[in-house]
Every structure is written in structure tokens, then in C-alpha cells.
Amino acid sequence: MNCFRSLLLAWGTLLATHTSAADVKIVSWNIAASPYEQVLARASDYKKMVGTLSPDVIVLIELTGRPDIRAIADAIGWQTYYAAMSDGQVQGDEIHMSLEVGVLSKIPITSVIEFDPKPEGHTIPVFTNASPDGDTSIPVKEMPLKGIDMMGLAATDRGTLRVDLANGLTVFPVHLKSNSNDACFAADDAIKALKKLGLPPVPALQTVLDNGSDVKAKADKDNAFKRERVIAATKTVADQAVADGRTVLIAGDWNTSFEPGKFGQSFDDCSLAAFSCSKAPFPVSACTGDGFDDTFAIMTVPLVGSQKWAMLTKDLGRTFKDTEFADKAIDHMTVPAAQAALFAAPKVGPDTFGSDHFPIFTVWTAGP
């Protein structure tokens, strides 16, 4: 009985400490999807990131299974941690066919909802190092992410989590569709295959790489639409969290940036002209009028839902390691506009810590 009382007192002290804490540092980081063996081998990366940035809450992108987040937590070595992750993707033959999101926190998790494109009926408890097999008193409830099935589910429709923390903060980790373009990949692969066979190049294939094509332009718009439909569905459930009286943060890898000409302010998209497969910044001349990617406008105008949100990362610089892309962030944080003053301007971490993304971080001033 005395041990039980001691445990309750310790829990109460921990909860009170975090509830009254003035500052909470939140890191969002795409860790780069890897086989489990590589996750284990990168233990020093995770420990170094935490030693450098000192986060209280970490939003993790590109986990490939629950063992990943447990291994990362063990590597970090927090005295007490609480963790939850999604279980929405079917494991595929390739690592990028099973990407998940998660939250690792020093602050107690009080409830979790997994918003899944296609719920499987799984029941997975939050786990902590105090209860390694999972805290069955906090099950991860599963609900459909309504709204993304308007044109049928896509293989890239990843879900999200609503993670409520004991200090009043709610976090939604997201991972939106990338800009991968099959038309460019196909042309590049065909050219390489012809070279291997010693056959002459086909000019039309090189033209696709150099100048783009109507097929490529359609794929670019389709990628933007896939981002829009998922973030719109996520905003709907995040708006509800705001209505519940929570302080709310959506963070993760959005795979799009504030490139002039590309991002729009309404659903009235431009007619996108063909442009090069080069990774260079988006050519403004390819999109005359309102941009074709309305991912941000869905949050900020807003084009969907009741709450107006602020993109904290609008002016943030590069967050992806590859310098051939525009010098703009593709990892983002957004909060309700009415709560934006509570969050410090995000910054980019000084290192990728073994990933292809830099972590980004903000500080939430929770109270006096």
C-alpha cells in the first residue's frame, strides 16, 4: 500500500510540475524511414539530437513500426517518457510503403485518437518506460479520417494522431504526400536503361526531363490535391480540439513550401504549364494566376473549417538536406491564429542528425 501511495504522489508531483511549467519545447523531425536494424544503429543520432535541442515533446515522422519509437525512446534515455504512434499503413515490401507518425513526450499523455484513412479495429495502448507493455488505461482509440475518401482512398493517404497531454497541449503529427513524379522517374529510368543496353537515346525522353510534359503537370497537381484533402480532413478534427479548449499544434513533414507561384489562396487553381523535372525552385511562369497548391490556404484563409490558423514556419528556411530544392521549409508547424502569440518563432536545428531532414522546433509558453 505504501508503494502504491508513493507511486501516486510521484505521479501527482510530475503532473503538477509539467502542468505549471512556463515553457515547453516541441521538436518536429522526419527521422528518415529505415529498416529496424538501421534505427538501432542510429541510437547516437537520437541521443545527440535531444542533447542539442533539449525537447520536452518530439513529433516523429517516418516511423515504420512501434519498435522504432521504443528504440528511439530507449536511445534518448529520458527518466520517464510517454509514447504513441499511428498504425494506419499496411506493411509493404518497401520501407516507404509503411510510414507512420508518433509523439514521444516527457509530459504525461492523457488520451490518444488515431484518425486512420481505413481503420482496422486495432487497440493499441500508450506505452511508457514505467509500463513497457503499454498503459492499458490509455488505449489509442481508432476513428476514420473523414473527408479524404471523396475520390477514393490513395496508397499515400496517411493518417494522424490526436495526442492530448496533461498540460493542456494537443499535438497532431502529419506526413503529407510528397512531390514524387512518376513521369519524371519513368523518363529518367528509360534513358538509363537505353544507355546500359548501348542503344541510342530517344530525344522525346530527354525532352520530358528538360521541359516537362502534360502528364507530369497533371501529376504535380494530383500530388497537391492529395496533400490538400488530407490536411483538410486533419484540420476538421484539429478545429474540434480547439473547440474543446485545448492549445493545439499540427506539425510534421508537409512536403510543400511557400514557393511563389506555387501556393495559392483559393481553390480556383491556375492552369499549370509543363515545366522541367529539375529539382530547382518552382518556375513562377508555369502557373499564371492563383497557385495550384492550396495546402496552406486551407489552414490560413481558411478554405475549410471554422478556425483560422497561422503557419508559424512560413518564413523558415531549408529543412530538407538536398540543396537542389528551393531554399524553403517543407517541414511545418501551424497553430490556431488566436494562440500563435503563445509560440516562439520556429527554428531549424543545426544538424540533420543522420536524417535527410533537419528537425525544427518551437517553444510554447504555457503559463506563468
Count Cα neighbours of 313 within 13 Å in the Cβ-side half-sphere.
33
Nearest to 145 by CA among 166, 105, 176, 103: 176
* DSSP assignment of 180-248: --HHHHHHHHHHHHHHHHTPPP-HHHHHHHHH--HHHHHHHHHHHHHHHHHHHHHHHHHHHHHHTT-EE
Per-residue pLDDT of the chain in tens (368 residues, 90 and over written 9): 444 333 433 444 444 444 445 799 999 999 999 888 999 999 999 999 999 999 999 999 999 888 899 999 999 999 999 999 998 554 445 555 568 999 999 999 999 999 988 887 877 789 888 776 667 788 889 998 887 766 566 667 788 999 999 999 999 999 999 988 888 989 999 999 999 999 988 999 999 899 999 999 999 999 999 999 999 999 999 999 999 999 999 999 999 999 999 999 999 999 999 999 998 889 999 998 899 999 999 999 999 998 999 999 999 999 999 998 899 999 999 999 999 999 999 999 999 999 999 999 999 998 65
Which domains can be identified in the chain, with CATH numbers? 23-176+224-265+289-365 (3.60.10.10)
DSSP tally for the chain: helices H, then strands E: 8, 14
Q: In the structure grid, which three cell numbers stand for residue 103, read together?
A: 509523439
pLDDT for 177 equals 92
Q: What is the pLDDT of residue 271?
A: 92
Rg from Cα positions in the chain = 21
Residue at grid coordinates 497561422: 310
Q: Measuring CA to CA, which residue among 164, 296, 136 is closest to residue 227?
A: 296
The pLDDT value given to residue 306: 85
Q: Write down the pTM of the prediction.
A: 0.90
